[in-house]
Structure 1
Amino acid sequence: MNPNKALWEKGDFTQIAQTMRESGEQLVAQLGITNELMVLDLGCGDGTTAIPEARLGATVLGVDIASNLVKAGASRAQAEGLTNCSFQEGDATDLHALQDQHFDLVVSVFGAMFAPRPFDVAREMVRVTRRGGRIVMGNWIPGDPTLVAQILTISAAYTPPPPEGFISPMLWGVESHVIDRFEKAGIVPENISFRKDTFTFKAAYPPSQLVNTFKTYYGPTMNAFEAADKSGKALDLQHELEDLFTRQNQSPDPNVTSIPATFLRVTVLR
């Protein structure tokens, strides 16, 4: 089985996505979505940004490698009566089912960055975007002091080293790598812009419970706990993550979670 597919079908990312809904809507509100736009939401999960895009009137196709998330997204769209929003399974490194220059806007928020072969990902995103269209990515930043980068850094200390040839998804958060990848896909650097932005994880329960949500439902954290358990260090990992989440919680109520995480917003003009 495709290892990337296995990773994201592990657990249930919808449980994490529920804490990201508000920020997803806020980001989409800034993208200039209009009724006539054809939008591809790549690595869409269960529709954290695809559903708000469709609510604004765009015709939206959500594509994700995880079949369980595709099914969950389709159920959400159906429940809201969004006939302009559909979901299908697909791999960001090979979008062969999608036509050249078909979409006005391609959005990938913490999605396509996790696919292997980043140069193929950039090439495919450019290929399916019409001339004059846009690509917008949200990518976590390596070494950033905020939540997600720190979760991944802490987790990496408990897991075996990655296989030879592995390319860290976090390099999508480094401007020079982003420019290189899109330049090789035919985009001039002048058409690539960057800004730091924030996604806030919000939950009506304490940070320690959010740690358990990641532990139970988020593939990378699940893998870290499985590896830590084998070495007798699962409790150490639990304590490190609980300390991180508690320190970064900005809610005045300790029984409510509000943790901001910085990411790199990339805009590419086709």
Structure 2
Amino acid sequence: MNANKALWEKGDFTRLAETMRESGEALVAKLGITDGMDVLDLGCGDGTTAIPAARLGANVQGVDIARNLVEAGNARVKAEGLTNITFSEGDAIDLQGIADETFDLVVSIFGAMFAPKPFDVAKEMFRVVRRGGKIVMGNWIPGDPTLVAQILKVSSAYTPPPPEGFISPMLWGVEKDVTERFISAGALKENISFTRETFTFQAPFAPAIFLETFRNYYGPTMNAFEAAEKNGNAADLQHELEVLFESQNQSTDKNTTSIPATFLKVTVLR
């Protein structure tokens, strides 16, 4: 089975996505989406950014490698009565069935960065966006002191080394690597720009419970705990992450969570 597909079908990312809705809507509101625009959301999950784009009047196609997330997204769409959005299974390294220059906007927020073969990902994103359109990615930044980068950093210390040839998804948070990939896909260097922005996780429960959401439902963290348990280090991993979550929480109410995380926003003009 496709290892990337297995990773994201593990657990239930929708439980984590529920804490991302507010920031997802805020991000989409700044993308300049207009009524009738054709939008692809790649690595869409259950629609954290795809559904807000459809609410703004765009014709949205959400693509994700995980079947359970596609099903959850379609259920959300049905519940809202939206008719201008569909979710389907697909792989960011090979967007089969999608013709060249189909979309005005291609969006991938913490999605396509986790696909293997990053040069193929950039090539596919650039291929399916129309001339005059744009690509927008949100990618976590390696070594960043905020939440997600630190979760992945801490977790990596408890997991076996990656297989030979593995390319870290965190390199999508390095400007020179992103530039190289999109130039290889056909973009002009002057049409690639970067900003650092903030995505805030909001939850109506304490940071310790938020950590349990990661431990029980987020594939990479689930794998880290499974590896740590085999080595008898699960309690150490739990402690490190508890300290991290508590220290990052900015809510004044100890029973709620508000944790900002910095990401690299990539914009590529076609």
TM bin (shorter chain): over 0.9
Distance across 1 between alignment mates of 2:76 and 2:157: 36
Q: After the TM superposition, list the runs of 4 or more consecutive aligned residues in structure 1 that deviate by more than 3 angstroms.
A: none
Superposition map of 1:63-78 within 5 A? 63-78=63-78
SS across alignment from 1:177: helix
Q: Which residue of 2 aligns with 1:138?
A: 138
Q: Which residue of 2 aligns with 1:112?
A: 112
Question: Partner letter of residue 38 of structure 1?
Answer: D
Give how far 1:96 is off. 1.9
Distance across 2 between alignment mates of 1:147 and 1:58: 31
- Mapped pair 1:265 → 2:255: no
User: 5+ residue gaps in structure 2?
Assistant: none
Q: Which residue of 1 aligns with 2:228?
A: 228
Question: Partner letter of residue 193 of structure 1?
Answer: S
Q: Which residue of 1 aligns with 2:52?
A: 52
Give how far 1:108 is off. 0.1
Q: Which residue of 2 aligns with 1:254?
A: 254
Distance across 1 between alignment mates of 2:126 and 2:13: 27
Render the CA deviation track for 1:7-43: whole Å, top value 9, x for unaligned. Answer: 0000000000000000000000000111120000000
State the identity as a percent: 73
Q: Which residue of 1 aligns with 2:125?
A: 125
Distance across 2 between alignment mates of 1:35 and 1:87: 19
- Mapped pair 1:171 → 2:190: no
Q: Which residue of 2 aligns with 1:3?
A: 3
What TM-score results when the alignment is normalised by the length of structure 1? 1.00
Give how far 1:97 is off. 1.1
Distance across 1 between alignment mates of 2:78 and 2:132: 31
SS across alignment from 1:152: helix
Distance across 1 between alignment mates of 2:146 and 2:48: 21
SS across alignment from 1:254: coil
Distance across 1 between alignment mates of 2:55 and 2:82: 7
Question: Partner letter of residue 131 of structure 1?
Answer: R
Distance across 2 between alignment mates of 1:5 and 1:199: 25
Distance across 1 between alignment mates of 2:97 and 2:252: 48
Distance across 2 between alignment mates of 1:227 and 1:205: 27
Render the CA deviation track for 1:160-209: whole Å, top value 9, x for unaligned. Answer: 00000000000000000000000000101100000000110110000000
SS across alignment from 1:209: helix
RMSD: 0.4
Distance across 2 between alignment mates of 1:115 and 1:97: 18
Question: Partner letter of residue 178 of structure 1?
Answer: V
SS across alignment from 2:139: strand
Distance across 2 between alignment mates of 1:124 and 1:82: 27
Question: Partner letter of residue 216 of structure 2?
Answer: T
Question: Partner letter of residue 181 of structure 1?
Answer: R
Question: Partner letter of residue 79 of structure 2?
Answer: A
Question: Partner letter of residue 19 of structure 2?
Answer: T
Distance across 2 between alignment mates of 1:221 and 1:155: 7
Distance across 2 between alignment mates of 1:245 and 1:186: 40
SS across alignment from 1:135: strand
SS across alignment from 2:200: strand
